[in-house]
A = this chain, B = another copy of it.
């Protein structure tokens, strides 16, 4: 049976730009367009050339290889010709392959926002589409507020859609601009549009998540006949966000209800890159990834309940709706107070730590983990600290060096020139092999100063930690207010590119940071010895 083609249209760089707290630079846009293009997205909407400097620069070149590069903008204003409309001219001058015009399709908006007649709006749609087509670009029209427009005045909404098709638009996209439409209404209205003579193969859906149903609305529209879905990476977008392509793509490719009927420009095997795509996007935006995101979240395949977990280890399809590897994710059996012993042993084994089931130190370790996690240690996010905790409890970590004391100071004062400056300094005393060493260092802040001072002179271990660097630092205040506990997570990296996370918890942020820094160094020294041991074998 021939499957029908569904086209994916990404508007991360245009509608996604409306997300609170997000602003893309030209470099950001280049990187994201490349990610989308390489992943197999069909249309990449890059922005609104002419509306702002970043987008105008971005559209000076075509930024995709396979995907259609799309410019967004408004239909021409009433009362002027296309060539006299600077907005449309800007779109046509850009290096876009396709032009996506946003058009009013709700008569209320035509009157209140545009201040022209219904007929003038239809003429603007036709003229704009024609101009794009005649300039050799693929024309498409986003019918703004289509579903509310249809409910208010179905004939006019349809007339807008028809004007676009008849002028030669490749796509007419029905937009649920305020996000309030329900799936059953989507299905009903899409059916009516198709019955009115606009083929499903020319229809698209653009949903928003204001009632938590952007994904469902997109799929409902596809079930009713549309063949283009507009969405964003990780569902970013204004208000509650756009339809999340990272959620839609695996559902379309893996769930029989869709996979048997449709195909995308992405193969099922390519899905293994999905989690990486999603995380790379979050990293570029410096956004904390959503651990509970469908398919790609760190917890999407994590289970807590002890009894669940043991059956899981045997037959995952009893509990998982899709195998995590298909989307590049992994199953996590969480180190938590509800995990059973079997889980724990498996987790330790995974980290290269062997322990017998009957070993009494195992119970000690489990109790210690529960206690520490209740205090705020988050071992799920700090694997190297968990590793060390386990090794110490099972008796396997030497005391390489001892920190006798440290002192951190931050001073803000006027310097000799009368300028206000802040200075951070740390002094650390360590004992290595019986020898006392003292180091002082300055840094951007107290933690940076402490990190540099701590790693400045560790005697005979200095060479081993020379390639150690701190790459990320996260702080979380637990319990809030004055009784706050601070949890610090630190990511470290060595010369081989290997990265690891460590954690520290205290009511004192410097103390918490110190614990995490110590674990980072000790972890490096421990794993160095393992590599040597392995090499020797």
Contacts and interface: CB of A to CB of B under 8 A. Distances in A.
A185 B479 CA distance: 43
A475 to B, nearest CB: 4
Copies of this chain, tallied across the complex: 2
Contact of A506 (B109, B422, B481): B422
B471 A410 contact: no
Of A241, A244, A304, A315, chain B has the most CB atoms within 10 Å of the CB of A304
A120 interface: no
Contacts of A211: 215, 247, 251, 255, 294-295, 321
A85 interface: no
Contacts of A244: 212
A509 interface: yes
A259 to B, nearest CB: 11
B408 A240 contact: no
A407 interface: yes
A136 to B, nearest CB: 29
Interface string A1-21: 000000000000000001111
Given A286-B478, A409-B408, A447-B509, A239 B292 contact: yes
A367 interface: no
Interface string A355-371: 00000000000000000
Nearest to A420: B405
Contact of A112 (B318, B378, B406): B318
B510 A422 contact: yes
A444 B508 contact: yes
Interface stretch (A30-38, A175-183, A345-353, A433-441): A175-183
B412 A409 contact: no
A472 interface: yes
A409 B407 CA distance: 7
Interface size class of A (residues with CB under 8 A): 35 or more
Interface in A319-357: 319-322, 334, 336-337
Of A239, A300, A447, A514, chain B has the most CB atoms within 10 Å of the CB of A239
A537 interface: no
Given A183-B219, A473-B477, A23 B410 contact: no
Interface of A: 18-21, 23, 108-109, 112-113, 177-180, 182-185, 209-213, 215-216, 219-220, 223, 238-241, 244, 247, 251, 255, 257-258, 286, 291-295, 297, 299-305, 311, 314-315, 318-322, 334, 336-337, 374, 378, 380, 403-414, 422, 424, 444-448, 469-482, 484, 486, 506-511, 514
Given A180-B322, A447-B509, A475-B509, 17 more contacts: A21-B378, A23-B337, A109-B318, A112-B311, A112-B315, A180-B321, A182-B257, A183-B183, A184-B257, A209-B294, A239-B299, A240-B299, A405-B414, A407-B410, A422-B508, A445-B507, A445-B508
